[in-house]
Amino acid sequence: YISIGGNRKGVFRTYVNLLVTMVLGGLWHGANIKFVIWGALHGAALAIHKFWMKINPFKQKKNKLTHFLAVSSTFHFVSFAWIFFRAENWDKAWQMIGQLIQPTEPEIMIEMINAYKFVFILIALALIFHWLPSYWKEYYRGLFIKTPIWVKVFIVSFVVFVLYQVSSLDLQPFIYFRF
């Protein structure tokens, strides 16, 4: 980014430099169109973000809603872009995107929830705990610290057991070993 001018050559050139850098980053991961698209999506997102920060009407209004929307949209965009990175090929990427946007049969959703109900319960509990007020978290942290050692060992053992039960039993290779 810096070697091609960074942000020293004007606003438009900054956007182009961001895009070029990320496309090259995609090519670095593999000489395949899916990696180029992955890089281009991230480069475009960086350029749009840089532009948005200049015209952002909410810049002075830092509240929980705008923060939530910013984090949520970033998460969803990055997750979408990773489809191109992780898919085996171009057709699989578009098949995954198609599955994301087409309506799902209610029966299939019910079947999936039943099959993974324990995982969904854990996700719901984690979200609830995450959004608890700080003083509640501090209260529970203090409560845990005051418990006897055998209770702590039991709780930690239970958490490890639960994580083992919900984890994939198939060995998942490190992503960079696939290249």
Same domain, 41 and 124: no
Is 130 considered catalytic here? no
Same domain, 37 and 121: no
End-of-domain residue from the set 65, 82, 102:
102
pLDDT attached to residue 174: 56
End-of-domain residue from the set 59, 76, 102:
102
Task: Say which residue the tokens 């090259």 belong to.
Answer: 24
End-of-domain residue from the set 102, 127, 152:
102
Same domain, 109 and 96: no
Domain count for the chain, please give it.
2
Same domain, 94 and 115: no
Same domain, 146 and 157: yes
Same domain, 109 and 78: no
Residues 82, 175, 71, 7, Cα dihedral to 10°: -80
pTM over 0.75: no
Same domain, 19 and 32: yes
From first to last of the 179 residues of the chain, give the pLDDT tens digit.
Answer: 667 766 777 778 888 888 888 888 888 887 778 888 888 999 999 898 888 888 877 777 778 888 888 889 999 999 998 888 888 888 888 898 888 888 777 888 888 888 888 888 888 988 898 888 888 888 988 998 999 999 999 999 998 888 787 776 565 565 555 55
Same domain, 25 and 98: yes
**Contact 42/77 with Cβ under 8 angstroms?**
no
Same domain, 25 and 77: yes
Of the candidates 76, 81, 75, which has an alpha carbon nearest to the alpha carbon of residue 93?
81
Catalytic residue among 29, 49, 67, 130, which?
Answer: 29
Q: What is the DSSP letter of 103?
A: P
Same domain, 96 and 145: no
Same domain, 96 and 118: no
Q: What is the DSSP letter of 104?
A: P
Of the candidates 95, 65, 97, 94, which has an alpha carbon nearest to the alpha carbon of residue 79?
97
**Contact 30/179 with Cβ under 8 angstroms?**
yes
pLDDT attached to residue 148: 93
Q: Which domain holds residue 170?
A: 105-178
**Contact 109/156 with Cβ under 8 angstroms?**
no
Same domain, 11 and 65: yes
